[in-house]
Structure formats: structure tokens, C-alpha cells
Amino acid sequence: MTASEYRPLLLKNLHRSDSATLEAYLQSGGYRALARALKELTPEQVVEEVKTSGLRGRGGAGFPTGAKWGFMPKGPGEKYLVMNADESEPGTFKDRLLLERDPHLTLEGLLIGCYAVGCSHGFIYIRGEFVKGYHTLLRAIAEARAKGYIGRKILGSGFDCEITVYRGAGAYICGEETALLESLEGKRGHPRLKPPFPAQVGLYGKPTTVNNVETLANVPMIVENGGNWYAGIGREKNTGPKLYCLSGHVKKPGVYEFPLGIPFRELLYEHAGGMLREDHPLKAVVPGGSSVPILRADQSDVRMDFDSLAAAGTLLGSAGVIVMDDTVCIVDALLNLARFYAHESCGQCTPCREGTGWYVQILERLERGEGKSSDLDLLVDLSDRIQGNTICPLGDAVAMPVRSYVTQFREEFEHHVRHKKCLAATAPAGV
Amino acid sequence: VNPSPGTREKIEAAIREYPRQESALLAILHLLQQERGYVSEEDQKFASERLGIPIAHVAGVVSFYTMFRRRPMGRHHIQFCRTLSCQLRGCRELIEHVQKRLGIREGEVTPDGRFSLVTVECLGSCGTAPMMQVNDDYHEGLTKERVDRLLDSMK
């Protein structure tokens, strides 16, 4: 099957203007997978199907979902499953699309997940700014409850499950699962030390699993068609459909669904219409959200899956694909991101709290034309001191782009130091 | 009376949704802000007393999350996304344009209280950059002309 013949699985309902309604969802076979899980499968069998499918988490880390569920203690007791809808990684806007346009797909995935891990109260942690998505979810939950998909003895089975939607209030760090749990407990979003992992000590100290929206949206099709069917989509160890978010200097930015492993160049030039302006070619691409290492145009002949991008020295992350043409000043782009991470650092760990501020100061002076040649090594040295030395991955998430921008585009940084201005085609320093 | 009986009712409903009542703190702060336009010290004291948690804890939460405002803002609170994908599609020009048009800088409120402007980090709308959020609503795929029309329509 070539990508051009590919029929969407995650976005299959979006051609309907009423795709967010229960009626539309049921007409496309919605909630059949939940019924199958409850009537034909034990929770352990659902976990096994998901393990067989090879589904890896779509939030950024790519951890196998079935294995994550398998870490939850068996048997009765207070446990929680949380759908992470705190989508905040710069360049990423796929979960918002699912929440606003196909909320029942995400709910069905969450309910099956709750059944699989033995949890009777699921949470959805949605970022506070997603007001439309929040109200869409509330409506969908009310519809689903009225038809017996949520609540007591779901579809006549012995399974009870309540769903509560929790609004965040503007903090990138709450997308990190332990910060999210702190926030859900009504606290500042300060990440927790691991171990203990949430599967042992999570929400209210009870076993908890946190799964990304897109991850859970894959679950109904796995339960309905089987793990083996799902494992046939995409590539070995990188299975299933994937939502790619294209932004930046692209002719047709947006969310594209293809099997994992689609070549980046095919995605950009055949599906997204190519570069925004014919006379400004590709200069660089960030393939997985702002936190992953950047690739130069000459390195962009890559497949878009977890293992191919890792082999290329970067990450699939959240598949937020940020495309830059030759008008971009790389120092300027990095300063934009450094400011983001400095603002979003929770302040708990010294390397991240202080280091992100240093990055901003150094990059600002490079932009002003006051940079020193030693600044380039200082940026890389800072990254070495931050990465791996903080409680949560936010430190790594800023250290990786900084190190890669400086390394991949070193001559551009040197040009800033020597000539006190940009090397880029049109953007002058400081604009 | 602050909060109003209607808001108090919503607060009690929010508290009932959680297995532990302290989880309702953010929901309560959202509701108080919806009523007043920002979260005052009085509101923080109310939340602290209702949930039986220290006022320092509430103040810490209010100051941690950027959506909670600690001073009055405009009737139309403009949050312009400034992060990379929006920057690549020209948000800096538009932010400059809005500042000139409204005669205020980032973080300020117009003297008539109609508009306030802040820049914010990624709002998850990069495919339709540049974009801004005004109160609850996203406005995407912005140009100068579209921004002008939107601002004109906001009384």
C-alpha cells in the first residue's frame, strides 16, 4: 500500500461536519470496540491485544502502551487512568483536532483503557486554553452517559466507570506525567522524582497510568480488528497510523495521517504541497516538536518513525514537524525556543531553572551582535550540564535543541559573532 | 456577595466531581476568575477556607499557572501566540500592529478597559499560524486585515 492510497483510520470521521456527535460516531461503528471488550475479552486479553499491536505512546516518548498498562497492579483497589490532553509541545496540534472533532473516539479509547487496567474513574487532563475542546468533551460525555457508555454497569456488563474532565491553567510542564498528577491534586505542576513510577504511586498515591490522547484513540481499532491486524500497519516496531502536524514554511500546513515510517520528503512535497514559497527552499526541519534535535535540509531524507529518526540523531517526539526555509535565522529561531523553555521551567531544579535563563542571555547577546566566540562552546557546555541532571525531561527538552542548533549550524552562529549579523537570506539580526 | 450564589453552586458541583476535594482548586479558581475577571486576594482566601488548605498554597498555585490573572484585564483579553511556528508565519509583525492600533504595549490595558494584550507561549494552533486567543476563542490564520476586522467587532 502506498501512502497515496492510504485511508485514514484515526481521522476517518472528520469529513462529516457533525463528527463530534454521538450519532455520527455510532454510524461509523463507534463504541463497537467497547462492547466487544466488555462482552468478549477479559481485561488481561485487552492488554495482550494492545501488546501484540505494538502500539507505542504518541505523546512523545514512544513507550509501548501495552507494557505500560501491564505495570499496573492486578486485582481490586483504587486505581486511575488519565488521558493526557495537555497538548503544549510547540509545533503540535493533533490532539486538539481529535478532541474538538471526534471526542467519542478518545472517550472510547479511555473507557477501554480503564477496563483494561481495572479503573473505575478515568480523568481527562485538558489544557486550560482548549475551551472549545473542553465543552466538546463535556457534551460528548453527557451524550455517552445518557446512552449507557459511561456510568454504572456499562452496556449491561459489570464494569462501572466515571469520567471527569479536569482543566489545566497554562503550564507546559503539566504535560509531563508526574507534573500532571501534581496538578490534578490541586498543586503547582512540579514533576516528581521517579521511581516510584505512577503505576505504583500515582494520583493520590494510588496506581495510575497516563496516556496521550492520540495513543488512546488508537485503542478502539486495535480491540475491534485485533493486535495482529494493527501490527501490519507501518513498520516493524513502529506500527500503526500516526498524526503528523506540519507547520512553518509549508504550503498546506495541517494534520496529516499516514502509517508510521512515511518518508519526510513525501510528507512535505507530495502531501503538504511543498515549501511555502517556490524561491525559498528547505533549510531545516524539526521533526518531533520543539524539544527534539533539528535536521539540516541535507539530513532530511528520513522516515518519520521512532526508530528511523532516532537513528538519524533526532526523535519522532510528538510528530510536530516544524519546517523552516532559507529566510530563517537559526540563532533567532533558537532564541524563540530558549525563551519558551525559560518561561516554562517550573524552577525546581537548578540546572534547568538557571540554565534556561543563561541560554536566553547568551542568545540575546549573539542576536545583538555582542556575542563572543566562546559563547558557542558555552551553549553546548550548558547543554551537557543540564541534560540528565534534572528531575524531569524538560531539561533534556531544551538541552537537545540548543546543542543541535549550534552543532548543525555552527557557521551561522560564528557569522553572528564575526559579522554581528545574520547569514540568513532576508532576516536581519534582531528582527 | 462574592462569589455569587450561582458561582458558589458551581464550586460545590466541582468539588463533588473529585475523590479528594483539593483537586477542585484549579476549577474553583477558574470559576472565580470567570466571575471577577481576575483572581483577587479575597478570592484566594475564599478558596483556601472552602478547601481547608493554606492561603500560601493557593497563592502558589495562582502564581504558577499563567492563565490566572492577578489584576483586572480588558473586556477583550488578547493573548497572542509568540512561539516558533507563529513566529515563522509572521506573528511579530502582527503583535507590533496590534500594539500600535490599540496604543498599548504588551501587558497593558487600554484606558477604556476594552482591550488588554499579552503574548503567550504555544497555544497548539501551529497549523493555522499566526493566531491569537481572545477570552475563550481562538482566531486563526490571521492577517493584518483580519485582525483589524476582529478588533473592530469587539465592543
pLDDT digits (tens, 9 = 90+) for B81-94: 999 999 999 999 99
pLDDT of residue A4: 63
Tell whether the model's pLDDT for residue A430 goes beyond 80: no
A344 CB neighbours in chain B (<8 A) are 121
Count residue pairs from A and B with Cβ separation < 8 A: 139
- Residue A49: C-alpha distances to residues A73, A158, A191 (Å): 18, 21, 31
The shortest CB-CB distance from A255 to any of B27, B88, B127 is to B127
Tell whether the model's pLDDT for residue A272 goes beyond 70: yes
- Residue A336: C-alpha distances to residues A290, A360, A361, A402 (Å): 10, 9, 12, 11
Q: Are A380 and A406 in contact (CB under 8 A)?
A: yes
B87 CB neighbours in chain A (<8 A) are 333, 336
Stretch B55-61: mean pLDDT:
98
pLDDT of residue A300: 97
pTM above 0.90, yes or no: yes
Please state the φ and ψ torsions of residue A298, each to the nearest 5 degrees. -75, -5
Q: Are A357 and A347 in contact (CB under 8 A)?
A: no
**All 3 cell numbers of residue B150?**
476582529
In angstroms, how far is CA B81 from the centroid of its own chain? 13
What does the alpha-carbon distance between residue A58 and residue B35 come to, in Å, rounded to a whole number? Answer: 37
pLDDT of residue A429: 39
Chain A contact probe: residue of B57, B68, B85 with most A CBs at under 10 A: B85
Burial track A24-37 (b if 16+ CB lie within 10 A, e otherwise):
bbeeeebbebbbeb
Concatenate the DSSP letters of all residues of A323-384 into one string.
EEETT--HHHHHHHHHHHHHHH--S-SHHHHHHHHHHHHHHHHHHTT---THHHHHHHHHHH
Question: Across the strands, what pairs with B119?
Answer: B80
pLDDT of residue B116: 98
**All 3 cell numbers of residue A226?**
485485533
Read off the pLDDT band of A2 (50, 70, 90). Answer: low
Stretch A14-37: mean pLDDT:
97
Q: What CA dihedral angle connects A260, A266, A269 and A273, to 10 degrees?
A: -50
Question: Across the strands, what pairs with B137?
Answer: B134
Residues from B contacting A (CB-CB < 8 Å) are: 17-20, 22-27, 29-30, 51, 53, 57, 60-61, 64-68, 79, 82-85, 87-89, 92, 120-129, 133, 136-138
**Considering chain B, what percentage of its residues have pLDDT values greater than 70?**
99
Contact call for B82 and A336, based on CB within 8 A: yes
Q: How many CB atoms neighbour CB A74 within 10 A?
A: 10
Contact call for B122 and A188, based on CB within 8 A: no
What does the alpha-carbon distance between residue A118 and residue A44 come to, in Å, rounded to a whole number? Answer: 10
pLDDT of residue A347: 95
- HSE, side-chain direction, 13 A CA sphere, residue A331: 31
What does the alpha-carbon distance between residue A295 and residue A286 come to, in Å, rounded to a whole number? Answer: 6
What does the pLDDT look like over B17-51, one tens digit per residue? Answer: 999 999 999 999 999 999 999 999 999 999 999 99
A238, containing H or E segment: strand A238-239
Using alpha carbons only, give the angle A355, A359, A363 rounded to the nearest 5 degrees: 170
pLDDT of residue A425: 58
What does the alpha-carbon distance between residue A346 and residue A262 come to, in Å, rounded to a whole number? Answer: 36
pLDDT of residue A428: 43
Stretch A26-33: mean pLDDT:
97
Q: Nearest to residue B132, comparing CAs of B93, B87, B80, B90? A: B80
A124, containing H or E segment: strand A121-126
- HSE, side-chain direction, 13 A CA sphere, residue A159: 27
What does the pLDDT look like over A348-391, one tens digit per residue? Answer: 999 999 999 999 999 999 999 999 999 999 999 999 999 999 99
What does the alpha-carbon distance between residue B28 and residue B17 come to, in Å, rounded to a whole number? Answer: 12
A93 CB neighbours in chain B (<8 A) are 124-127
Q: Does the CA dihedral B122-B123-B127-B130 come out positive or negative?
A: negative
Mean pLDDT of chain A: 96
With a threshold of 0.85, tell me whether the complex ipTM lies above it: yes
A164 CB neighbours in chain B (<8 A) are 17-18
